[in-house]
Amino acid sequence: MSADAAAMSAPAGHTGRRRRLRREAWGFAVGSLCFAVGAVPFYAEWAGAVAVGVTFFAGSIFFTAAAFIQLSLSGRRPPRSDTNRADRADWWAAMIQFIGTLFFNVSTGAALIAAIADPTRLGAGWRPDAFGSVAFLVSSALAVVATKDRGKLWDRDARTWHGTWLNLLGSIAFGVSAVGAYVSPETGTFVSLLWANLGTFLGAICFFVAALLSRRTIDSEPA
């Protein structure tokens, strides 16, 4: 490729990358909003178990789509050993996060099927599952590592401090919700229905705000 051709292709590639970053941000924002709404007890009482199940399942699909965009931007294959630490941490954070969203796809889908079969069953509504929550926690920790050297990232706006810490707080809240949603075999009741709902709601709000702030950061940069 000639120098002139390279100069012409760089802006186009940069613009395309920014466009995909915006889609990623919107995907996480819409998905987070679905999870936040689904966790509100008043909405559950009004809409019913099946509609709540649809809300959570739709949110998980948006999460997975956004996570796939993030992973594809980071690179589909593991980085080489000579890749800088920030890019390695960013790729693994994106990969583990994507796996976590797949766990949420499965658990929200199963919850929806269960709600259709018996909307009155205990636990018919969805709560963050342990596998997806652990994946999100690990991913968030790796994102902190990537953000420490964000100036060396493939795109410095791929990770920002406000987004990293908000996502970490959201992942912790999802983990608390998963513990609260555990049904004790001795009592047949939730460990804490309050924290099962509140953890989901607070976690989703953290993810939602992080997504909006990342969108603002991307839009403030020249395309």
Confidence at residue 8, expressed as pLDDT on a 0 to 100 scale = 39
Confidence at residue 73, expressed as pLDDT on a 0 to 100 scale = 86
How many domains does the structure of the chain reveal? 1
Backbone φ and ψ of 190, nearest 5°: -65, 150
Confidence at residue 178, expressed as pLDDT on a 0 to 100 scale = 87
Confidence at residue 3, expressed as pLDDT on a 0 to 100 scale = 35
Local mean pLDDT, 10-residue blocks, the chain (223 residues): 38 62 87 94 89 95 95 74 79 95 95 86 71 95 89 76 92 90 72 83 95 69 48
Confidence at residue 215, expressed as pLDDT on a 0 to 100 scale = 66
Q: pTM, whole model, 2 decimals?
A: 0.81
Confidence at residue 15, expressed as pLDDT on a 0 to 100 scale = 65
CA angle 17, 205, 209 (to 5 degrees): 40
Taking alpha carbons only, the member of 206, 183, 205, 211 closest to residue 196 is 183
Confidence at residue 186, expressed as pLDDT on a 0 to 100 scale = 72
Rg (C-alpha) for the chain, rounded Å, is: 19
| Contact (CB, 8 A) for 125 and 111 | yes
Cα atoms found within 13 Å of the Cα of residue 22, Cβ hemisphere only = 12
User: What is the residue range of 61's domain?
Assistant: 3-220
